[in-house]
Amino acid sequence: MNMKRIYNYIILLSVFLTFSFKGDKMGYKLYNSEGKEISYKELYKVVSDADVVFFGEQHNNAIAHWLQYELTKDLIEDKKGKVVLGAEMFEADNQLIIDEFLSKQITEKKFEEECRLWPNYATDYKPLMTLALENKVSFIATNIPRRYASMVHKGGFESLDGLSKEAKKYIAPLPIFYDAEQDAYKSMMTMGGMQGHANENLPKSQAIKDATMAHFINENLKSNHVFIHYNGAYHSDKYQGIVYYLNRLNKKLKVVTITTISVTDVSTISKDDQALANFIISVDENMTSTQ
C-alpha cells in the first residue's frame, strides 16, 4: 500500500469516526460577563474577595444547588468560618427559630415543623443549613413574611402602614423607594405578569421582598466576612432587585452576582445572558431538576 492510499484511508477513517460518535456531553459551563468560559477556580477567586455574593438560582436546578453547596463549603473552609449565609427561602419572622436550631436549643424536628420550609428544603437547602450548623455560621432569614408581601399585592405599599411596630420589624423600613422603570419590575407588567396574575401592585410586592432582603443583608454584614445570599435569579439579575436596594443602602460594598440559565446549547452564550450577572452558570435544559 503506497503512501497516497494510506493517507486516503486515514481521511476516510477520520470522517467515519466523526459521524459515528456524538461529541462530549456537557451538563453545564461557567461564563463571565464578557462571555468567556471560565473555571470554577476563576469564579472562586473573585467570589472569595467579595463582601456580598448573590447566588441567583433556578429553584429546581440541581447544578445550581450543587454549586451553591460546594462554593459555600469552600468559603467556610478557606475563610475559617468568617462567612454569613442568607436566603430568600426563609422569612424574617422565623429568624428566632433558625437561631435556636443553630445553637442547638431546639431539635431539627421542631425546627422543620415550625419554620414554613419550602417543599424542596430537604434536597436543596438543608445541606446549606447543615453546613451552618456544623461550622457555627450564622444563617439569616432575609425575606419578608409572605403574608405582608400578599398585602402589598392586594393593596399596595400603603397597606403596610397600619401594621404594628412589632410587625414592621420584619420589613424594610417604610416607606421604601420604588422605581417602576426597573426592568425587573416593568417586565412583570409588559409580559403579562407572573402566572397571569399581574396588576399594578404585583411588581410592588416583588420590590418589598427585594428591599427587605437587602435590608436584612445589610443589617447582618460582619467585618472581614463574606455574606453569601441564595435567591431566585430574578431577584438579582441585571444587578437589579436586591442588588439595587443594597447599593442604595451601602455603596461601598464589593458585590458579586451569579446567575443560572437553562439553555439548549451550553457551548455558547448570548449577549443578553452575559448581561445578567458577573458570572453565569449555563446549564443544559435537559438537566435533572430537584422538584
d(CA 130, CA 141): 15
d(CA 243, CA 221): 14
Per-residue pLDDT tens for 200-233? 899 999 999 999 999 999 999 999 999 999 999 9
Whether residue 197 is predicted with pLDDT greater than 60 in this model: the reply is no
For the domain that residue 58 is a member of, what is the CATH number? Answer: 3.40.50.11550
Kindly state whether residue 237 falls inside one of the protein's structural domains. yes
Split into its structural domains, the chain has a count of: 1
Per-residue pLDDT tens for 123-145? 999 999 999 999 999 999 999 99
Kindly state whether residue 246 falls inside one of the protein's structural domains. yes
Kindly state whether residue 158 falls inside one of the protein's structural domains. no
Kindly state whether residue 114 falls inside one of the protein's structural domains. yes
Kindly state whether residue 95 falls inside one of the protein's structural domains. yes
List the domain range (segments joined by +) for residue 246.
24-139+215-284
Residue 237 confidence class, pLDDT cut points 50, 70, 90: very high
Kindly state whether residue 245 falls inside one of the protein's structural domains. yes
* Of the candidates 133, 140, 129, 290, the residue with the CA atom closest to the CA atom of residue 227: 140
| Averaged pLDDT of the chain | 91
Kindly state whether residue 73 falls inside one of the protein's structural domains. yes
Q: Is 210 helix (H, G, I), strand (E, B) or coil?
A: helix
Kindly state whether residue 162 falls inside one of the protein's structural domains. no
Per-residue pLDDT tens for 149-171? 999 999 999 999 999 999 999 99
Q: What 3 state SS string does 18-48 have? A: HHHCCCCCCCEEEEECCCCEECHHHHHHHHC
Whether residue 190 is predicted with pLDDT greater than 80 in this model: the reply is no
User: Is 257 in contact with 56 (CB distance < 8 Å)?
Assistant: yes
- Angle (deg, nearest 10), helices 62-78 and 126-135: 10
Q: Is 55 helix (H, G, I), strand (E, B) or coil?
A: strand
